[in-house]
Structure 1
Amino acid sequence: MSSSAVLGRGVSLRGVASYEPGVVMSSDELAPRLGVNQGWIEKRTRIQSRQFGSENTLDQARVSVQKLLDQTEVDPKSIGLVIFTSSLASRNIPPIAPEVATFAGITGAGAFDVNAACAGGAYGIELARSAIASGVTDRAVVVAAEHISPFLNMDDPDTAALFGDGSGAALLEVSDTNSVFPAAWTSDGTAFDLVIQSHTTEELQSADETPRVYMKGGGVYRWAREYVPPLCRSAIERSGVTESDIEVFLPHQANGKIIDIVAQQLGFDEKIMPSTIERIGNTLSASVFQAMESLVECEDVPENALTLVTGFGAGMTGCAQVLRLPSRK
C-alpha cells in the first residue's frame, strides 16, 4: 500500500491560539507555603511562576476558540468537528465540546470530549488529523482547557509547585500538501497511580473534603525517561522524515528535569525548544498549544518549522507527532 493511501488527504495546521488567566503566583511567593527555601522550586523544575484563574474550563475554552477564529478568519460554519480535552473538566455530563462549538457559531458539527490528561492536546490533534485525512470533515478545532487550581493541595510540593491554569486551541484543515503526519501513541495502565485524583466518583458522594490531585514525581520522571524517547522516534519514523530534519522539539511542558532528560536521550539538546514552563508552569493538556503559539510568534523560529510535538501524563498516556508549525499571523 502506498504512503498516500495510508495517509489519505493532506492535512495542515492553520492556526493556534491560547489564553492565560493572568493571576500570577511566583515560585518565591509559593515557597514558604510549601516549607521550602526560595529558589528550591525553580532549581528542580525551572518554573519561576504559574497562573491561576477563576474561569472554569468551559469559559477558558470559549476564549481560546474565539481568539483562534479571529486570527484565522475562517467561517465557523465550515468547521465540521470540535474536540475538547481537559484533565479535570468543569463537568462530565453533558460534554463541553458541543457548547463550545455553539458559542463559537460552529453549527451542526461533530463535537465530543476526550480525557488523556496532559497528553490530551496531542491526542486531540491526531484525532482531528485522522478525521480530516479520512474525509469526515475538511476542518476541525481542538481545544484544551485546564482549571486545576481548585484541586491542588497548596501544601504539597509535588503538585502545587508545578501546575497552572490556562487553555489553548488549534485549527486543522484539509490541504493539497500534507504537513501533519500520523501520530504514535501509547498507554500504561500499570502506572495509573502516578498521577491520580484523591476520590473516585462513588467516594465523592460521601466525601467531606475537596478532591485533590496527587502525583508521585519520581515515578513520572522515570516513566517519561523510559517511554517518551522511543515514542518520539516512532512518530518520526511514521512521518517519513529523519531526526536531523526536525527543526523544533515541542515537548509537553511538564517540568525542566523531564524536558531535559527526554531532549538529551533524543539528542535534541541543540534543537529549538519552547520555554513557556518558566513563566506559566505545567498547564497539562493546554501546554502544547500555549508553547506552540509562543514558537509561532517568535521571529527566531523558522516559518512553518518541522516540529516534533509530544504530550504525556496521567494514565499513563503518551502521544508524539511530527507537524509543521502554522504560518505567523
Structure 2
Amino acid sequence: MARPPRRSGRAGAASRPYRGPSVNTNTALGAATAGTAAPVTGSRIVALGHYQPSRVLTNDELSRMVDTSDEWIRERVGVVTRRIADTETVADMATAAAGKALANAGLTADDIDLVVVATCSSVDRSPNVACRVAARLGINAPGAYDINTACSGFSYALGTVDHAIRAGAARNALVIGAEKLSDFTDWTDRSTCIIFGDGAGAAVVTATTGDEPAGIGPVVWGSVPEKGEAVRIEGWRPYIQQEGQAVFRWATTSLAPLARLACERAGVDPSELAAFVPHQANTRIIDGIAKRLGVPQAVIAKDIVESGNTSAASIPLALSKLVERREVPSGAPVLLFGFGGGLTYAGQVIRCP
C-alpha cells in the first residue's frame, strides 16, 4: 500500500572550536555582571515565524491509500490538506521557523539567551532540539531545553519562559513548537492518518520593563493523568494511538471553563478577545470550545483546514499566519489554549505582536 516516504535524517550542526565557558550577558547574571540590569515587569511576544514543508498531502490522495473520502474527512475532522516533511527533521523545521521569527523581530542570535522547544516527535534523545536550534542559529551559551506535553506544549513552553523572564533568568527568548508527526503516523490506519501534519512555529519573547505593559498573562495549566491512555505514542518509533471519542468528550465538556479562567486571570472578559487560537485538534472540537466560551466577536483560528493537526506546532503556526495576514490588530488580546496528550492543558492571554 502506498504511503508518504518517512526519512529521519539527523541534524548535523557544524562543530566549533572550544573557547572555554561563556556567559550570556542578556541573562540576569550576565546583566548584573555588566552593570546593566533593569527592572523587569513581565514579558511579551514581539514577533512570530513559521515553517511548513513544501509537500502537500490532500484528502483525495489519502482516499487512495485507505478507505476514506474527502467528504468524510472534511465532515469529521475538518482537514482538507496537510504538509508532510519528506527530508526535514524536527530541528530543521524549528530552526527555519525560529530564524524567521528572529528576522521579524529585528534581533540577532546575540540577543537570545534562552531557547525552548515544545515537541513530542523528535526521534533523537540527545542532544535536544533546542540545543540544535541554538547551534545552527549561532546563539551563544543560551539556556536550552525541550518540553514534551504533546499538543499543549507551546502554551506550557510560553508559560515557563514568561516565568523565567520575570525571575530574571532571561531577557530575550525563542519559544518554538515543532513536530514531524508523519514519522509516527500509521498510514494504514484511517482513524489517525487523516488527521496529522508536520510543521513549526516560533515566537520571540522579550522582557517588559518600567511602564511597558506585560503582554503575556498568567498561564492556566494542568493535567488529567488518569485519562492518559486516550492519546499515546509508546515505545521506540511507534505509531500514534488515540481514543478519539474520549478526547472529543473531554475537550468539548471540560476545557471551556479552563479557557475562561485564563481570561479571568489576565483581567480580560472573553467578549473582549480579538482572537481565539486553540490547539488545532479538529474543527468540531474548536467550534465546541468556542461556543461554550462565548466569543462570537473573535477571529477563531482554523489552520487545521490547510495544515492538519500539528500538535505542539499548531498554536504558534496558526498565530503566526493570523499575524502575517494582519487579521488581528497589534496589541489586541488573544487567547491561546492547548490541550492533548497526557492528558494536559495550558492556556494564556497574550497581546498580539
Q: Is the TM-score greater than 0.5?
A: yes
- AA of the residue aligned to 1:306: P
Residues in 2 aligned to 1:56 and 1:263: alpha-carbon distance in whole angstroms: 33
Could you tell me how far 1:129 is from its partner in structure 2? 0.8
In 2: Cα distance, 1:27 partner to 1:312 partner: 25
Q: For the Cα contact (< 8 Å) 2:184–2:238, is it kept in 1?
A: yes
Q: Distance in 2 between matches of 1:269 and 1:44?
A: 22
2:169 is matched with 136
CA distance in 1, matches of 2:328, 2:273: 12
Residue 251 (structure 1) aligns with: 278
- CA–CA distance in structure 2, aligned partners of residues 52 and 269 of structure 1: 33
Q: Kindly indicate whether the alpha-carbon contact (under 8 Å) linking 2:273 and 2:295 is maintained by their aligned counterparts in 1.
A: no
Aligned: 1:40 with 2:72? yes
Q: CA deviation at 1:185?
A: 0.4
Cα offset, 1:27, TM superposition: 1.1
Match in the other structure for 1:67: 100
Deviation at 1:150, TM superposition (A): 2.0
Distance of 1:141 and 1:251 partners within structure 2: 20
1:79 aligns with 2:115: no
1:158 to 191, 195, 203: 191
- Report which of the two has the higher share of helix: 1
Is 1:116 aligned with 2:141?
no
Aligned-partner Cα distance in 1 for 2:70–2:279:
25
Taking only aligned residues, the RMSD between alpha carbons, in angstroms, comes to 1.4
Match of 1:5 in 2: none
Give the AA of the match of 1:178. Answer: A
For 1:194, the equivalent position in structure 2 comes to 230
Give the deviation of 1:234 after TM superposition. Answer: 1.2
Superposed counterparts of 1:310-325, under 5 Å:
310-325=337-352
- Secondary structure of 2:271's partner? helix
| C-alpha distance in 1 between matches for 2:70 and 2:114 | 46
Contact 1:118 1:252 in 2 (8 A): yes
8 Å CA contact 1:120–1:285 kept in 2: the answer is yes
Q: 1:17 aligns with which of 43, 49, 70?
A: 49
Match of 2:3 in 1: none
What's the offset of the Cα at 1:85? 1.4
What displacement does 1:226 show? 2.7
Q: Which moved more, 1:298-307 or 1:156-165?
A: 298-307
Q: Secondary structure at the match of 1:34?
A: coil
Compared with structure 1, are the counterparts of its residues 41 and 118 closer, same or farther at alpha carbon in structure 2 (3 Å cutoff)? Answer: same
Q: Give yes or no for contact 1:31–1:40 (8 Å, CA) kept in 2.
A: no
Q: Provide the identity percentage.
A: 34
* Cα separation, 2, equivalents of 1:90 and 1:214: 17
- Between the aligned partners of 2:258 and 2:70, the Cα distance in structure 1 is 36
The answer as to whether partners of 1:18 and 1:169 remain within 8 angstroms in 2 is yes
Q: Corresponding residue for 1:294?
A: 321
Higher Cα radius of gyration: 2
Between stretches 85-94 and 119-128, larger displacement belongs to: 85-94
Question: How much does 1:31 deviate?
Answer: 2.1
The aligned length equals 310
**Residues of 1 paired with 2:219 and 2:62: CA distance?**
37
- Say which is worse superposed, 31-40 or 101-110, in terms of deviation: 31-40
Tell me, in whole angstroms, the C-alpha distance in 1 between the residues paired with 2:350 and 2:89.
Answer: 30
Matched, 1:273 2:305: no
> Using the alignment, how far apart are the partners of 1:110 and 1:194 within structure 2?
33
90-99 vs 234-243, which deviates more? 90-99
Q: Provide, for residues 274-299 of structure 1, a one-character-per-residue CA deviation record: whole Å limited to 9, x for no partner.
A: 22111111111001111101111223
Note the residue ranges of structure 1 that are not aligned, 5 or more in a row: 1-7, 205-209
CA-to-aligned-CA distance 1:123-165 (integer Å, 9 cap, x gap): 1111111111121111111112111112111122221111000
Which 4+ stretches in 1 moved above 6 angstroms? Answer: none
1:235 aligns with 2:262: yes
Deviations 1:23-74 (A, max 9, x none): 1111122123221233110111111010101211111111111111122121
